[in-house]
Amino acid sequence: MASLKDMRVRIAATKATQKITKAMQMVAASKLRRAQAAAEAARPYAQRMDFVLGNIAAGMAGSDGAPKLLAGTGSNKVHLLIVATGERGLAGAFNSSIVRLAREHINRLQSEGKDVKILTVGKKGYEQLRRNYEKLIVDRIELRGVRTLGYANAAEIAAKVTAMFANGEFDVATLFYAQFKSVISQVPTAQQIIPPKLDGDKPTAAAASYEYEPEEEEILGDLLPRYVATQIFRALLENNASFYGAQMSAMDNATRNAGDMIRKQTITYNRTRQAMITKELIEIISGAEAL
């Protein structure tokens, strides 16, 4: 049995841990508000761009002049998986849920005889995927030193991806991230961005009345790279909000668990102390009676 001193040290250490988890919870809560606002602000723009590109693509259906970023290479043999995770842990299942979805996608593609390449964005995704798929990882990008995510960060990643596509290194690109729903709900999401699956692919009556200036090919040539960057930027913002939401929830659970441990340890300490006092009293009384 542990001594009273060991128990006191254990209780003090648990209280110190509880203070740390409580502080991390408060920090995550303060950062979550701004991250959530940024993620929600990016959604309408990304969705509207998706719709506009879908309408243009519907108008060019069957045309030979569609850019490769829109029409694809005509093959789906080589797949690039862009796995975006966090740079840090202590956020519950946030990182592992994204990696789990990517693993399922990898296993399915490999079972179908496809070639898979992986581009990781975030330290934790790389650390988890390299255990089983290190040979498939073609590049890694870390954003540890970035204090505030900006469009420039996504544009840099998008430029690398589009350059790989232009060089014929893959046929299909799929982006993995966690979509923020609430503090307790972050949904792992897989989104194909090259060639894009657009919401406006099906022609509508409204789409038939649009006229574009300049021509559709020129518009798409400028918008498609921007579309890839916008979707990556949106994914980074969603991930950022999801990370702080998951961390806030995880640290809240850790704080509660530490409180439960402190109560149990205190009860054990008091019972042990009382037992020792009772034993000493019995020894004193027994000794006095013996005299």
Nearest to 36 by CA among 151, 180, 246: 180
Separation of alpha carbons 121 and 141, rounded Å: 5
Q: Which domain holds residue 169?
A: 42-248
Q: Is 153 inside any structural domain? A: yes
Q: CATH number for the domain including 110?
A: 3.40.1380.10
Q: For residue 202, what is the DSSP state? A: S
Q: Is residue 105 part of a domain?
A: yes
Query: Tens-of-pLDDT digits for all 291 residues of the chain?
Result: 678 888 899 999 999 999 999 999 999 998 998 899 999 888 888 888 888 787 777 766 556 667 777 777 888 899 999 999 988 888 888 999 999 999 999 999 999 999 999 999 989 999 999 888 989 999 899 888 777 788 888 999 999 999 999 898 999 999 999 999 888 889 999 999 888 887 644 444 444 456 666 666 777 777 888 889 999 999 999 999 999 999 999 999 999 999 999 999 999 999 988 988 888 888 888 877 776
Does a structural domain hold residue 282? no
Q: Is the peptide bond before 203 cis (omega within 30 degrees of 0)?
A: no
Residue 197 belongs to some domain of the structure: yes
Is 116 a member of any domain?
yes
Tell me the C-alpha distance between 259 and 89, whole Å.
Answer: 22
Q: Would you say residue 109 lies in a domain?
A: yes
Domain count, the chain: 1
Helix axes 151-166, 216-290, angle to 10 degrees: 120
Q: Is residue 270 part of a domain?
A: no
C-alpha R_g of the chain: 28
